Amino acid sequence: FNSLNHDMTLPEFKFIWYMEYSHRMWGRLVGLAYLLPAAYFWRKGWLSRPLKGCVLALCGLVCFQGLLGWYMVKSGLEEKPDSYDIPRVSQYRLAAHLGSALVLYSASLWTGLSLLLPRHKLPETHQFIRLRQYAHGTTALIFLTALSGAFVAGLDAGLVYNSFPKMGERWIPDDLLAFSPILKNVFENPTTVQFDHRILGIASVTAVTALYLFSRKIPLPHRTRVAVTSLLAVACVQ
């Protein structure tokens, strides 16, 4: 308020305060949803030895996620005397917070589905191995694309160019490598960050489409077929 938003009213402040407060309370509720049942099931002896390892890892990730959230918010409250920019949290910490959340969500979903659905006994043919490897590669690409989105959000890079497929009047902007050293552009230049996110997004959709087309040539179980088709549908919507 003192540095930038002099005209902010009390109701406007309450709105952003409650947004943050609700996010924190929801995060703590999620933490309890992991820790309390885990402690109960553990005490009852319902967890196998491998599952105990999974439960410990998930509960540890939940606690780590909360710690990362505090560390991220802290960066937005630090005084920066050498900077006259809009106050914002560190894009590095924001990406770490989002990445940790994605890992936690994916690991939780994988663990839950592994318990609910029996694993298919599929022949280890060359095609199946290739499909699995390609699926893992596509997963990594999507994860990287999501992390690049955190850098876009952290730097407000989405406000730099609002045209597509070109950025302004050019396919490749003039200020793509304006910072020195060059590697700094990837993480701190809003133009480069938005450009990378666009390229990664297009690459992700292309990879998902190729995965779908490749899967059509292989006799897959119904559940796997539904998963691959759903992946393509969600990629298109995204």
Give the CA distances from residue 197 to residues 24, 51, 61, 88, 165, in Å, rounded to whole numbers and listed in that order: 28, 37, 26, 20, 12
Q: Which residue has the tokens 């559940």?
A: 223
As a whole number, mean pLDDT of residues 190-202 equals 96
CA distance 57 to 177: 40
Q: What is the pLDDT of residue 40?
A: 96
Handedness of CA 105, 108, 109, 110 (dihedral sign): positive
Tell me: pLDDT of 124 over 90: no
Pair 130, 211: CB distance under 8 Å: no
Q: What is the pLDDT of residue 21?
A: 95
pLDDT digits (tens, 9 = 90+) for 43-93: 999 999 999 999 999 999 999 999 999 999 988 887 766 555 677 889 999
Average pLDDT, the chain: 92
Tell me: pLDDT of 175 over 70: yes
Given pLDDT bands bounded at 50, 70 and 90, which one contains residue 172? Answer: very high
Q: What is the pLDDT of residue 146?
A: 96
As a whole number, mean pLDDT of residues 4-27 equals 93
Task: With CA atoms as reference, report the closest residue to 111 among 68, 48, 44.
Answer: 48
pLDDT digits (tens, 9 = 90+) for 203-230: 999 999 999 999 999 988 899 999 999 9
CA distance 234 to 204: 12
